[in-house]
Amino acid sequence: MEKCTSEQPEEMVTNLKASIRELSVKVNEQNQRKCHVKDKLQQLRERISKEGVDVSVQELIPLLRSLKELEKEESQVRSKCNVKRSALEDAVHDLEERVAKGLDGEIQEEDLDGLLVESLDNLTSAKKELAATLREIVSLKRQIDDVPCQSELLQYERRFSELNVCIQEKLQQTRKLYATYNALLEIKDLMLKETSLLNSIGSQFQDVIGTPAGRVKLIDSMEGVMKGIQQKIGKVQVGLQEEQRLRDATKEKYVAAAAEQRKCYTVLRAFQEECTKNEKLRSHISAVNTSDSKEGVE
């Protein structure tokens, strides 16, 4: 029984030392990860300062604030771990002194069990806090990595421009197809009415033309058909005039754009000529200065 009692403090000391070492390893790993995240942030700041990504900077400001808050929490966790480690070290030191003085018999088994349970609870709590802090750091790092760089933003903008041009082309084609469909539908209606009228006249002409009332009815029917045709012609003429106005406006825009293009081309050619003259003049001045300097040396 005395042997078992003497082995329990030694086992307790060993467990406490292992807990202290594990806490130290966790704290060191957290420090290394923190340094790694700080290095990544420093590289990201340098890249942002070089590339000038305004949107990314705006997105990074809350992330950096979150990182500072995490650093504060990490400092608090570290201080708590240090306090717990100091307490555990004091407990280990006390146990070692008591074992060295031969006070094994005075150490109660219940005290050892309670101290062991408390140490294990402290270790578990420290592990949970450390794991939560590490998860937040990893999440923040992923959010920082998800921020697009300048080249990706330019690529997205270029792709959106291409899609916009493609959509505009498809929209114009769709409008043309709808206009063609409506025109063909009107032609179909006119042809059906014309066919129906001709069939009606062909089948009832002999019966209708034989009586005065029939002739009047036929004339009224023909006048109604003529009015409908004139209304259709009026609508078509209105649409034609609108299309002609659009054509004239587009033609005027094209003429103005062509004149502006010719003007820009003329200005560009004059600018290029002036640049050529400027280069020749600069080379001539440089040659004159070189010859003057040589004569002064002689």
Check if the beta carbon of residue 56 is closer than 8 Å to that of residue 156: no
DSSP string of 152-212?
A: HHHHHHHHHHHHHHHHHHHHHHHHHHHHHHHHHHHHHHHHHHHHHHHHHHHHHHHHHHTSH
- Cα 26 to Cα 19: distance, rounded to the nearest angstrom: 11
Q: Which residues contact residue 201 at a Cβ distance below 8 angstroms, ignoring those fewer than 6 apart?
A: 218
Cβ proximity of 49 and 153 under 8 Å = no
pLDDT by 10s per residue, the chain, length 298: 444 444 555 666 677 677 777 777 777 777 777 777 777 777 777 776 666 555 556 666 777 777 777 777 777 777 877 777 777 777 777 766 766 665 444 445 556 667 777 777 877 888 888 888 888 888 887 877 777 777 877 888 888 889 999 999 999 999 999 988 988 898 888 788 778 877 877 777 666 676 777 778 777 877 887 888 788 888 888 888 998 999 999 999 999 999 999 999 999 999 999 999 998 898 888 888 777 666 665 5
Q: Which residues of 185-207 are buried (b: 16+ CB within 10 A; e: fewer)?
A: eeeeeeeeeeeeeeeeeeeeeee
Looking at domain 2-149, which of 1.10.3470, 1.10.4160, 1.10.238, 1.20.1270 is its CATH number?
Answer: 1.20.1270
Residues with Cβ within 8 Å of 115's Cβ and at least 6 positions away in sequence, in order, are 12, 91
DSSP summary character for residue 147: S
Q: What gap in Å lies between CA 159 and CA 153, rounded to an integer? A: 10
CA atoms of 123 and 23, how far apart (whole Å): 7
Please check whether residue 48 is in contact with residue 60, taking contact to mean a CB–CB distance below 8 angstroms. Answer: yes
Distance (Å, whole) CA 112 – CA 9: 7
Largest CA distance in the chain: 145
Closest-CA residue to 130 (of 245, 242, 25)? 25
Any idea where the domains of the chain sit in the sequence? 2-149, 180-290
Say if CB 10 and CB 95 are below 8 A apart.
Answer: no
pTM above 0.75, yes or no: no
